[in-house]
Amino acid sequence: MKHEFTQKVYYSDTDAFGVVWHGSYLRWLEMGRVELCEKLGYNLADLEKKDIVLPVANMNVRYKASAKIDNELIIETAISKVTPIAIFFDQTIKDKNTGVLYIKAEFQIVAINNDGKLYRRIPQELKEVFEKAAIICKD
């Protein structure tokens, strides 16, 4: 399963040089992961009430080109792999009109409880849903 949304670049998303500030990309990538989780039936606030929090444990973000004001971006998010202790998200940010690739990223997410203690395994109900989404994405 893949999630996709469009985002326009605003002045507030850019730095002093008129290009998108690196933190803006990270915010949009997080939006993609959160929205994909919601599409799978998991609202992060509801998970927290069940004592499950899904923080980023590792990220690899490759900046390929710089987006600028008024560019329309497509943020794509997919689950690439699920292991017993982590979920891996592959994400891209591309220009909607030209197809130029701005960002290629991989995020590793783990499960912790509300006290910050790492679960030794992703809770089973989450693991099954994320594995199914990863299989659908490969098709």
pTM for this entry: 0.93
Domains: count for the chain: 1
Q: What is the DSSP string of 70-123?
A: T-EEEEEEEEEEE-SS-EEEEEEEEETTT--EEEEEEEEE--B-TTSPBPSS--
**pLDDT tens digits, 39-54:** 999 999 999 999 999 9
Contacts of 139 (CB under 8 A, 6+ apart): none
Confidence of residue 82 (pLDDT cuts 50, 70, 90): very high
pLDDT for the residue 125: 86
The domain that holds 133 is classified in CATH as 3.10.129.10
**In which domain, by residue range, is 90 found?**
2-138
pLDDT digits (tens, 9 = 90+) for 12-24: 999 999 999 999 9
